[in-house]
Every structure is written in structure tokens, then in C-alpha cells.
Amino acid sequence: MVFTSNNKKAIIASGTEIPVPVNTLTNATATTTGVAAVASNIEFKKVALQLEVVPLINSDKEVSLDILQKIDSLAGSTTIDGNQIPNIATRYIRTNVSAANGATIVLGGLIQDSKTRNTSGIPILDRIPYIGALFRNTTNNKMRTELIILMRPEVTLTKLDLYRLRQKSEDRTHFGPEIDQDDCPDCPKTSDGKQLPPPDLPPPDLPSVKDVVKGSK
């Protein structure tokens, strides 16, 4: 869950950073070891799954979402001047959708197919024509992945709405956005700690006056 303001960008990202040599300086002067000194400047590139959302709320609590969904992955490497430069493959979806408050949006379409073939066997014997297949094992793997993201925008116009959203998030995760009780006089007062106080339970059913009179007779 991520919170943001109207017309402000929210970002969720998960990934890593890989080192990429930007430029290389080689000292051609002769050294005692006979090997030239090489110095490289390294720059870190992000390889991540990232989701960017910019919400725009109208008067009817309908939300227009500008969504960018991007996936980075390593796709081998290229040798340039003796340096192995990793290739970064990027796939993304850019769209704008409108949804009612509390409606669910489904984003999909980022599909990746990969095929691998592994061969193992007895050396020399697996290369004999015609009968070599008897001494080797070939495995073909095919994998298909698709990224699907579910989004549900919820609009909070008042501190009380934010309190109720916080209460729902705490029921699921025991965490929620901090709310200053002084800024929200309509919000129920909380006890010490993160947990919300138990709800007020109705009093137990009491016998009516007529039942009491009948019982006394």
C-alpha cells in the first residue's frame, strides 16, 4: 500500500543495481611486471521492477491514473574494449485509466517466453553418429511468465476517511499511516501504541419491566 496526494507521483520499486564501466584509462608506460595499469570508472545502473502512478481526483471521487509499469532484466553482455558491458532489457506499459473510488484495476500484457536446452552425456560416446543419442540426455525447458498487477485506488478527502483507511490497513498488516489526533477531532481516540482500541460493544440485553413484574408475582 502506498499513499500519495492529488496529482503527485507515487513510486513502488524493487530490484538491484549493477556496476557498469563508463570509461577506462590504460597506462601504456612500461611497468616492472610488464602489465599495463588499467583504471575504470564505474557507474551503477538500476535493474528493477517499477510502478509509477500519478492520480488525478475529480469531484465525483473518480480517479484518473497515469500509470507507468516497467520491468528491467539482464540480457547477456557485450564486450567493448575488453570490458564486459551488461545488456539491460526493458519492457514497459504506459497507460491512463479512470476508475471509481474503491474499484479494482488489472494491468497485464508483459509476457516473457524463454527456452533453454541442456545436453549431458558420456564423453566421446555421445558424439558417435546414429548411436550417440543412446549415451546422452537432452532436456528442453520452456517457461512463460506474465506480470499482472492489481490496483485499487481509495480516495480520502478528510482526516476521518484517512483514519478509516488506516484502520483497515492495520487490520491486515498491523501498520498504517500516522495521524495526528489533534488534527482530526472526529476520529476516535487511540490508546498508546500502534494498535487501535477495541470497538465499543452494545450493552447486554436487559429484561423488560413487564418481565420483572411477572417474575415477582
Listed in sequence order, the residues at least 6 apart from 92 whose beta carbon sits closer than 8 Å to its beta carbon are 68, 69, 70, 71
The per-residue pLDDT for 54 is: 93
Own/partner pairs for 172-176, CB < 8 Å, 24+ apart? 173/1
**The C-alpha cell that represents 205 in the structure block:** 440485553
Longest Cα–Cα distance of the chain, Å, equals 119
Nearest partner of 63 among 10, 12, 13, judged by Cα: 10
Q: What is the pLDDT along the chain (217 residues), one digit of tens a residue?
A: 788 888 899 998 888 888 887 776 666 555 555 555 666 778 888 888 899 999 998 877 789 999 998 888 888 888 877 778 888 888 888 999 988 888 888 888 788 787 888 888 888 888 888 888 888 898 998 888 888 888 888 888 777 777 777 777 666 655 545 545 455 555 666 554 444 454 454 555 555 545 544 555 5
